[in-house]
Amino acid sequence: MRIALAGAGAFGIKHLDALARIDGVDVVAVVSRTVEQAQEVAAKYGAEHATTDLQDVLDSKDVDAVILCTPTQMHAEQSIAALRAGKHVQVEIPLADNWADAQEVARVASDMSRTCMVGHTRRFNPSHQWIHNRVVKGELAIQQMDVQTYFFRRSNINALGQPRSWVDNLLWHHAAHTVDLFAYQCGEPLRDANVLAGPVHRDLGIPMDMSIQLRSQTGKICTLSLSFNNDGPIGTVFRYICDNGTYVAHYDDLVTGRDEPVDVSKVAVSMDGIELQDREFVSAIREGREPNSSIASVLGCYEILGRLQVQLNA
């Protein structure tokens, strides 16, 4: 399988590292904002083509699929362009930064009959898979999720602390992880959603703090706190309060509510959620099936985000 990667920043590099561990996959092209960065990354990962123009890749018959790790504001437009060019697409979270664009990507993906997967990595982290498997077996039932998503980003920096050209978004990017995961783990649609936002940053033009409440169809609840003002440990911590135990997940790791480690090493073939996500993308294309985290399966998340955006606008 011949894959092109667009967006050679912090998350793009994670995907390139993951793809290097998957048999039968060749990264044939790298697209980046500057020629120098594209060439440097392409040389490191053995890609033959380096460019700043995504259309170069979409016009190439040597590319089967595209992974988009570009700025959020480009995701919908680039996904549609790639699908219309006949490519399979994995677009990093979020699918879009508004409900209308998310719906349009879903429509085009259906019309073109191509695999379109969204990078909702939490579905693939071994920690969350461990919980999900037990919920499906009937061994656990989630009563409440308490989630904290905290960063210190009072300027435009990426996950590596490097400057970037675009402004991140707590609602459409970081909240999307939890909104989707809560519905996925509960196995049912979300019924209610409320949001409060803190002051808008003078320079960035976005709220830097946010609080979201969710309730599922049968009454399970989730409380999500998000901040770009947190001066301390960064990332997201998920507390699952269940009928048969409490568990705390942090990316690929899991402990009980009493801080006892849970062995998740046998959950999947890797302990890297990004690698597992990429393996699912490749396998779904090869097998001609709908992938976990397909656009159809995550669209409900973006409907909820759209409702929350309406609340914020009001």
Tens digit of each residue's pLDDT (9 = 90 or more) over 141-184 = 999 999 999 999 887 776 666 776 777 899 999 999 999 999 99
Q: Assess whether 161 and 208 both reside in one domain.
A: yes
Q: Per-residue pLDDT averaged across 85-112, rounded? A: 97
- Residue type (1 letter), 159: A
Q: Assess whether 164 and 69 both reside in one domain.
A: no
Distances (CA, A) of 147 to 45, 109, 236, 239: 36, 32, 7, 6
Q: Assess whether 49 and 130 both reside in one domain.
A: no
Res 158: pLDDT? 63
Q: For the domain that residue 152 is a member of, what is the CATH number?
A: 3.30.360.10
Q: Assess whether 136 and 214 both reside in one domain.
A: yes
Domain of 61?
Answer: 2-121+275-294
**Token pair for 307:** 């409702």
Q: Assess whether 184 and 287 both reside in one domain.
A: no
Q: Assess whether 164 and 245 both reside in one domain.
A: yes
Q: Assess whether 251 and 157 both reside in one domain.
A: yes
Q: Assess whether 104 and 172 both reside in one domain.
A: no
Provide the domain count of the chain.
2
pLDDT class for 204, splitting at 50, 70, 90?
confident
Q: Assess whether 127 and 265 both reside in one domain.
A: yes
Q: Assess whether 22 and 77 both reside in one domain.
A: yes
d(CA 194, CA 4): 38
Q: Assess whether 234 and 252 both reside in one domain.
A: yes
